[in-house]
Amino acid sequence: MHLTKEEEKILDGEKGEVTERLFRLLVRLGEIYGADKMIPVGSVQVAGVSYKSISDPGTAFLEDMASKGAKVQVLTYLNPAGMDLENWKELGFPKDFAKNQLRIMDAFKKMGIVVTSTCTPYLAGNLPRFREHIAWSESSAVSFSNSVIGARTNREGGPSALAAAICGVTPNYGLHLWENRQPTVKVKVDADLSYNSDFGALGWYIGKQVKNKKPIFTGIKNANTDQLKALGAAMAASGAVALYHVKDLTPEADLVEDKGLETINFGKGELKETYDKLNTGKKPDIVIFGCPHASLREISQVADRVNGKHLKKPVWICTSRMVKEASERMGYNEIIAKAGGSVVADTCMVVSPIEQMGYKTTGVNSGKAANYLPGFCKQEVCFANIDDLVEGQL
């Protein structure tokens, strides 16, 4: 791997101990994966923010770097935290959990990271351009930026993204190279996909089968960005899909070669089978939307359905702080609050300690959430579309 004179100096410790240590990690990764050089990144998104995910060892790791004066070189956003950073008390988040979470946020802020806490940075002011090299880590954000925007990032681990932010570069391998962005499996869709949850089910089914391959979809007639977000998120959770293409819908789909690929069929039967498989619970104690973080459109869809009604059991919509502000201005937050629901910012059900808050069964319309909740939050899951979920809580 070719390193510039400047980069050699980092390895000699000229930019301090932390930068040296993190640059060594990048060089090691570059060597393993055959990178020819380092390339500058336009922006970074760092995963590993919730105290629940990184716990004490991760917190100590971050605090150590912050105390040694590490600073990021490029626009860097954060993944969701383990709680709403402003309304955690009202929502019932445990106090000792909050204390540790705030320590983590302080460490990030010290390093110059924008303390945004969202898995949808592209909806909150960190929007890469087509073909821009970036180092993002949250798996659905990686999928969205690669697939829907056509920016270029590998699936960075939390620490390797942080290393890219502090060094300003990432090793040039994998999805940064055009030849690695070609599809490796074809998916023929022959089912009506209308709800966002239908796209989540499709994604979960395909991710499970293709693991880390790069699917190209045909037969999806239309999909908005919320639905593509749901599709990619589910594939990155049940599998390790970092890039997918959809004929006629995503920017690189017409530029790649899709002949001679193994084909997977997805029809009505597979759609129903996936809904059945993801349903492990009977009746939700709580319904949570916004995995990945809800767009303004998704919040308005919930507001429409609960307007003037009374929810018997809690409904949360998780989103970024920025989208919550816009939603406030539109009056959606008030409509949802009056019905008894909550718009929750900075966090999500997967990284928050919902099992400690007394919930046993969670209703979701997200294939990604349905994938993680049983293992990580010890929840039974009701996987359904937005209409059925809201109806069930009234």
Stretch that binds other proteins, among 214-222, 258-266, 358-366, 368-376 (CB under 8 A): 368-376
Stretch that binds other proteins, among 176-184, 235-243, 244-252, 311-319 (CB under 8 A): 235-243
Stretch that binds other proteins, among 81-89, 215-223, 234-242, 340-348 (CB under 8 A): 234-242
Name the residue nearer to other proteins (CB basis): 24 or 272: 24
Name the residue nearer to other proteins (CB basis): 296 or 373: 373
The DSSP call for residue 348 is -
Query: For the purposes of burial, counting CB atoms within 10 Å of the CB of 308, is it exposed (0-12), middle (13-18) or buried (19 or more)?
Result: exposed
C-alpha dihedral sign at 4, 5, 7, 8:
positive
3-state helix/strand/coil string of 79-118: CCECCCCCCHHHHCCCHHHHHHHHHHHHHHHHCCCCCCCC
Both tokens of 338, joined, read 């009056």
Q: Do 279 and 379 meet the contact criterion of CB atoms below 8 Å apart?
A: no
Q: How many CA atoms lie within 13 A of 202 on its CB side?
A: 33
As measured in angstroms, the least distance from the Cβ of 93 to other proteins is 19
The b-or-e profile of 268-304 (16+ CB within 10 A means b, else e) is eebbeebbeebeebeebbbbbbbbbbbbbebbbbbbe
Please pick, from the candidates 89, 99, 211, 283, the single residue that binds other proteins as defined by CB under 8 A: 211
As measured in angstroms, the least distance from the Cβ of 164 to other proteins is 11
Name the residue nearer to other proteins (CB basis): 31 or 36: 31
Interface with other proteins: number of residues (CB under 8 A): 43
As measured in angstroms, the least distance from the Cβ of 363 to other proteins is 17
Query: Residues 89-128: x/- map of binding to other proteins (CB under 8 A)?
Result: ----------------------------------------
Per CB under 8 A, contacts with other proteins among 334-363 are 350
CB atoms near residue 60 (< 10 Å) = 13
Q: Collect all residues with Cβ–Cβ distance below 8 Å to 108 and sequence separation of at least 6.
A: 46, 49, 62, 66, 78, 115
| Pairing between β-strand 169-171 and β-strand 38-40 as defined by DSSP bridges | antiparallel
> If DSSP codes are grouped into helix, strand and coil, which group holds residue 216?
strand
Stretch that binds other proteins, among 25-33, 70-78, 224-232, 312-320 (CB under 8 A): 25-33
As measured in angstroms, the least distance from the Cβ of 333 to other proteins is 29
Please pick, from the candidates 309, 376, 385, 394, the single residue that binds other proteins as defined by CB under 8 A: 376
Name the residue nearer to other proteins (CB basis): 231 or 236: 236
Name the residue nearer to other proteins (CB basis): 245 or 368: 368
Query: Residues 142-171: x/- map of binding to other proteins (CB under 8 A)?
Result: x-----------xxxxxxxx----------
Q: Do 329 and 299 meet the contact criterion of CB atoms below 8 Å apart?
A: no
As measured in angstroms, the least distance from the Cβ of 139 to other proteins is 5
Q: Which of 257, 243, 168, 247 is nearest to 213 (CA)?
A: 243
Query: Residues 65-84: x/- map of binding to other proteins (CB under 8 A)?
Result: --------------x-----
User: Which residues here bind other proteins, judged by CB under 8 A?
Assistant: 25, 28-29, 32-33, 47-48, 53-58, 60-61, 79, 137-139, 142, 154-161, 174, 211-212, 236-240, 280, 350, 371-372, 374-376
